């Protein structure tokens, strides 16, 4: 089920009313969350509910077994490894089987051997990378004694399948979300209202900005070889705006929706396009995934507590895996290695990325140096997004070449320029609200303490959504 669908518009109020007014006890609320979440996911394809159930059951059992073998570290290690292998095996089979077989066929073909008839049309289950990583973090945390294993299977199944963030995150840690299922929730009007505001802002980003940018990008991308250089640059900027508004819009809707039910999810985006360096960008973009890689791959490999060359190795390992996590295509792998290389260059050049001032502490408008750093970071990110958007590395290389070899100007991209203007306006609003959790989190001061002002803003956004909503597009990160 999509957030931007009529089904969700019907589903959410029904679930909300039943959750607070019928299933009032904690146990029944948790059980209802599981049922509602499985309905939410099953409306896409009910067959893949089996995969979520297997992932949930294996991770739940592994936690109990790890505690059962307390004091017997080899057995604990075996249980933890078995759960990791099982879940990564499921993920690999559905997400990477054809990719590896196709590349094996090419390699063997180059050697004169042929491997035919192995690939299959395997459907990629929506959100499998997200809920798999969420389940793995639990069993690893139990193994590392960061939290005790839960013995309540309903609470655990609710933690894995919680519908607001089931298919595209944030990738929640058990240390944050699971305890919220273990205590009684009380309806908090202020929290629910702020959740609605965040959802409204997320829908605006998705329906007005992301979907309209997608329409322009999709229309012209296939014909990129015949477009002038300036148009190609504009398309890259539009996709840079699109992917941010699409994914951060989903996160805003998910976080706001969770607050309606008394849950606080972690922040997943923190104004990444205002970053002053690529390392800072990755501290602000898809925070739940990057922190997952940091805690469960980068630090166990040695992090930055080792020699310079081993640290560089660790960076490349993490970003190779990050590229693969995003998809079974060489473009994603190269995109990951591109950002790994940028991070290594920042380190080798000794560029200070530990910014002394937070964004909120900066002046109303950034200074020339800060603005230059932000523009450079935005440009480097946009270059990466071209690789990310391309269907192959050959297309990505040709796209970059066409920017400089095609004629440079074409006045026909009126809609594209309009959407770029909308994107700039959105970023401007987020700049002035950069010290808030989301752009519609109003301070309790003039003029926002006037009800008429606040509701005027809400109605304006609703009217913009109604008037300018683009053709409905699936969320980009559903494919991961």
Q: What is the set of active-site residues?
A: 326
Q: Distance between CA 187 and CA 260 in Å, rounded? A: 8
For residue 296, what is the DSSP state?
I
Q: Distance between CA 465 and CA 457 in Å, rounded? A: 12
Within 10 angstroms of residue 135's Cβ, the number of other Cβ atoms is 26
Half-sphere exposure of 282 (CA within 13 A, CB side): 22
| Helix runs in 261-329, H state only | 278-284, 287-293, 299-301, 308-326
The tokens 């950069």 sit on which residue? 434
* DSSP state string for 191-224: HHHHHHHHHHHHHIIIIIIIHHHHHHHHHHHTTG
Reading phi first (left if > 0) and then psi (alpha if -120 to 50, else beta), residue 157 is in alpha
User: Does 170 sit behind a cis peptide bond, omega within 30 degrees of 0 on the bond before it?
Assistant: yes
Q: Distance between CA 207 and CA 203 in Å, rounded? A: 6
Chain centroid offset of residue 310 CA: 28
307 Cβ contact list (under 8 Å, min separation 6): none
309 Cβ contact list (under 8 Å, min separation 6): none
**CB 203, CB 465: distance < 8 Å:** yes
What DSSP element (H or E) covers 131?
helix 128-143
Q: Distance between CA 200 and CA 165 in Å, rounded? A: 16
């Amino acid at each position: 089920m999509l957030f931007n669908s009529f089904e969700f518009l019907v589903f959410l109020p029904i679930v909300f009313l039943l959750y607070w007014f019928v299933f009032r006890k904690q146990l029944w609320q948790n059980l209802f969350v599981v049922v509602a979440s499985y309905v939410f996911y099953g409306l896409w394809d009910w067959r893949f509910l089996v995969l979520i159930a297997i992932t949930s059951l294996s991770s739940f059992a592994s936690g109990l077994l790890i505690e059962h073998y307390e004091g017997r570290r080899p057995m604990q290690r075996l249980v933890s490894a078995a759960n990791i292998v099982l879940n990564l095996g499921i993920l690999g089979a559905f997400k990477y089987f054809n990719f590896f077989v196709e590349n094996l066929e090419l390699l063997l073909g180059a050697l004169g051997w042929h491997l035919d008839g192995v690939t299959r049309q395997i459907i990629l289950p929506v959100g499998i990378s997200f809920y798999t990583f969420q389940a793995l973090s639990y069993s690893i945390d139990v193994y590392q004694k960061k939290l005790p294993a839960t013995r309540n299977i309903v609470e655990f199944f609710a933690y894995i399948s919680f519908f607001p963030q089931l298919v595209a995150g944030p990738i929640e840690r058990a240390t944050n979300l699971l305890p919220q299922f273990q205590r009684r929730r009380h309806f908090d009007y202020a929290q629910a209202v702020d959740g609605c505001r965040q959802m409204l802002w997320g829908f605006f980003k998705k329906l007005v900005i992301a979907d309209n940018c997608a329409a322009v990008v999709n229309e012209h991308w296939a014909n990129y070889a015949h477009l002038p250089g300036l148009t190609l640059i504009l398309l890259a900027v539009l996709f840079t705006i699109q992917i941010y508004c699409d994914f951060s819009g989903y996160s805003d809707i998910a976080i706001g929706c969770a607050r309606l039910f008394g849950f606080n999810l972690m922040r997943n985006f923190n104004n990444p396009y205002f970053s002053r360096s690529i390392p800072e960008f990755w501290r602000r973009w898809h925070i739940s995934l990057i922190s997952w890689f940091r805690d469960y791959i980068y630090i166990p490999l040695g992090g930055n507590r080792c020699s310079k060359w081993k640290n560089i190795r660790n960076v490349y390992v993490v970003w190779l895996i990050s590229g693969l996590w995003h998809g079974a295509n060489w473009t994603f792998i190269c995109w990951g290695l591109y950002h790994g290389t940028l991070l290594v260059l920042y380190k080798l050049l000794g560029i200070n990325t530990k910014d002394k001032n937070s964004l909120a502490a900066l002046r109303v408008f950034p200074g020339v140096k800060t603005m230059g750093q932000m523009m450079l970071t935005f440009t480097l990110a946009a270059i990466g997004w071209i690789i990310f958007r391309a269907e192959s590395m050959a297309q990505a290389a040709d796209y970059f070449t066409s920017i400089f070899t095609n004629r440079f100007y074409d006045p026909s991209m009126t809609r594209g320029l309009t959407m770029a203007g909308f994107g700039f306006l959105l970023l401007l609003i987020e700049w002035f609200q950069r010290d808030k959790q989301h752009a519609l989190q109003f301070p309790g001061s003039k003029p926002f303490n006037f009800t008429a002002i606040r509701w005027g803003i809400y109605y304006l956004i609703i009217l913009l959504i109604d008037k300018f909503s683009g053709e409905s597009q699936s969320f980009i990160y559903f494919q991961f």
